[in-house]
Structure 1
Amino acid sequence: MRVAFAGTPEFASAALQRIVQAGFAVPLVLTQPDRPAGRGMQLQASAVKQCALAHGIPVAQPRSLRMDGKYPEEARAAQAALLAARPDVLVVAAYGLLLPQWVLDLPRLGCLNIHASLLPRWRGAAPIHRAIEAGDAATGVTIMQMDAGLDTGAMCLVQSLPIAPDDTSASLHDKLADLGADMIVQALAQVQTAPLPQTPQPAEGITYAHKIAKDEAWLDWTHGAAALERKIRAFTPFPGGAAQLGSDTLKIWQAQAQAQSHDAAPGQVLAADADGVLVACGSGHDSSVLRLTQLQRAGGKRLPAADFLRGFALPVGSVLHRPQ
């Protein structure tokens, strides 16, 4: 069976690597164009492109697949490459481009998507982050038969995975990438002999995982400590939690929620020592405390609280806040 692949980040490269290792023929890989990255802003190939080139697989990098879009010549070149590849199926994982109908119709077995959530919960761009932020007890991977909607296709395989109390988006990403890679190989092996199950998504329970915006990093101290602790884990490694103290911006990378009442203003520093920085959250009956245990100053390194406080004063009574 000939398996074309479309994907971009590390989540997708784990699946491509496993598909190749399983012995499937991969005649073509689609991935996003190289992007500037790093301090020198040099063009850098995506994780999927690097994996494809390591295995000698041809790569196409159109900026669009729409014939009526901004880059029709690139879409036509991608269409010619896909037609020449003659895929039986197209596997899609975090590709980053919407697939027009001509792509969905091209492989005889259609397009299978590896989606990192238990659909229909967390359709969209950031399902891993949003599941942690919302406090979900579990997430998982859905192998979906793609249609023209946004993550609306029929479910073929579904497997759940618990979210650990200390999971960040980085750690949960790696677990789900491994699970998705295993599941897509299972799906490809199965579809060679029999059609995959096609279970329509329920109409109830639909939520959307909107793309993470940089300004979401600012912590709102009027919220409870448990919600802020989840947000910090959800936004690690990007964009992290952030707070302002005077003219300084602090990044907060690790924290622990504590059910401790107080009558201080939200964001007020209650204590700062080697065990962490205690910050007042919420107010009244909903008050709680967040212990910040790993922090970073602009231009500095991530440091445990004890090391951070040696070089940066966080006086008791000072107030962390969001920019006005």
Structure 2
Amino acid sequence: MSRPLRVIFAGTPDFAAESLSALLASRHDVIAVYTQPDRPAGRGRKLTPSPVKALAMTHGLPVLQPETLKAPEVQAELAALEADIMVVVAYGLILPRAVLDTPRLGCLNVHASLLPRWRGAAPIQRAIEAGDSESGVTIMQMDEGLDTGDMLLVKRTPITETTTGGELHDTLASLGGKALIEALEALSGEGLATAPQPAEGITYAAKLSKAEAELDFRRPAGELAARVRAFNPWPVAWCPMGEDRLRLLMARATLPAPHDLPARPGTLLAPEADALRIACGEAGDQVLAVTRAQLPGGKAMEVRELLKARSDRFTPGFRLGHNDEEAPA
């Protein structure tokens, strides 16, 4: 068997911690962990270590948290580690050419999409929002571009009509850890063939924002249902409900019922046993069926239970959202 690799790991959020956990359970040697500096979090805005740092500390690993990798002294410190390879997973810092070239086998990235589709910051949520039928992870040899390096390994997983952003995140985090170890085993032995990314099919996954979570019921119901699932658990789709906000956590698109009268977008229709039904589309000719929601000050609940507890808040004919002229773009 080939010798274990000396690995520098660079990552920050929970998604990256899953890959670090897989690496720690493997035969390879994690010699240092790079992660973002501690950030304020919670109501008290207390400085909080990243999930990757927390995991590294429980294993007694050296943790480095530079603000940038461009400083010569930081690059010299990294080079002194004499790593075989650097693994980067949702790290959050740009790796300059000097860093990319330092490890003997270069730098690998675990990216949560089927490249070249969904390069960028939010590939998991954008895949669901766009209605993709599958997602996956790509193990990529890093270069100086934004997720443009050659591909070493690809693993796929389906996206169903009920897959949420949180569920796909967890699936891909686990899949990414397994794919990473498979790639490292190959690289430590006979090697792994690389393939350039196709020139066609490139899309970019823009960073999520709270502003885009407000739903515009003039849009098609299928588009809104996908956005509801993509934005669960963050930033969470919502709509105005009078002076309050209704948070929408699970939804599907359905056809209007024969008894439905024409209604303006955002109008509550007669509910089903397990769903709020909201008129959508420019003419209100499509229906969004919301099956999980949350009222202000309340818990997230299945709509079946929400209707039992607060049916007074969901009178058919009541209109959710803004007036048409105030609706979000």
* CA 1:322–1:156: 2 relative to 1, 3 Å: farther
Aligned twin of 2:294: 296
* CA 1:313–1:6: 2 relative to 1, 3 Å: same
Aligned twin of 1:249: 245
**Contact 1:154/1:198, CA 8 A, preserved across alignment:** yes
Aligned twin of 1:101: 97
Aligned to 2:185, which of 180, 185, 189? 189
The normalised TM-score by structure 2 is 0.91
Aligned-partner residue type, residue 89 of structure 2: A
What aligned pairs does 1:258-277 form with structure 2 within 5 A after superposition? 258-260=254-256, 263-272=262-271, 274-277=273-276
| 1:139-172 deviation per Cα after TM superposition (whole angstroms, max 9, x unaligned) | 1111000000000000111121111221111111
Aligned to 1:238, which of 234, 238, 248? 234
1:208 aligns with 2:208: no
| 1:159-217 deviation per Cα after TM superposition (whole angstroms, max 9, x unaligned) | 21111221111111111111111111111111112332121111100000011011111
Q: Distance in 1 between matches of 2:150 and 2:291?
A: 43
Q: Which runs of no fewer than 5 residues in structure 1 stay unpaired?
A: 68-75
1:176 aligns with 2:172: yes
Quote the offset at 1:273 in angstroms.
6.6
**Contact 1:88/1:108, CA 8 A, preserved across alignment:** yes
What aligned pairs does 1:1-324 form with structure 2 within 5 A after superposition? 1-67=5-71, 76-260=72-256, 263-272=262-271, 274-284=273-283, 287-309=285-307, 310-311=309-310, 313-322=313-322, 324=326
Give the number of equivalent residue pairs: 315
* CA 1:300–1:64: 2 relative to 1, 3 Å: farther
Quote the offset at 1:238 in angstroms.
0.2
Q: RMSD of the TM alignment (CA)? A: 1.8
**Contact 1:263/1:283, CA 8 A, preserved across alignment:** no
Aligned-partner residue type, residue 197 of structure 2: Q
The normalised TM-score by structure 1 is 0.92
Aligned-partner residue type, residue 140 of structure 1: G
Quote the offset at 1:322 in angstroms.
4.4
Q: Percent identity?
A: 49
**Contact 1:218/1:322, CA 8 A, preserved across alignment:** no
Q: Which runs of no fewer than 5 residues in structure 2 stay unpaired?
A: none
Q: Distance in 2 between matches of 1:37 and 1:307?
A: 33
| 1:295-314 deviation per Cα after TM superposition (whole angstroms, max 9, x unaligned) | 22333321222443434612
**Secondary structure, aligned partner of 2:29:** coil
**Contact 1:219/1:322, CA 8 A, preserved across alignment:** no
**Contact 1:7/1:95, CA 8 A, preserved across alignment:** yes
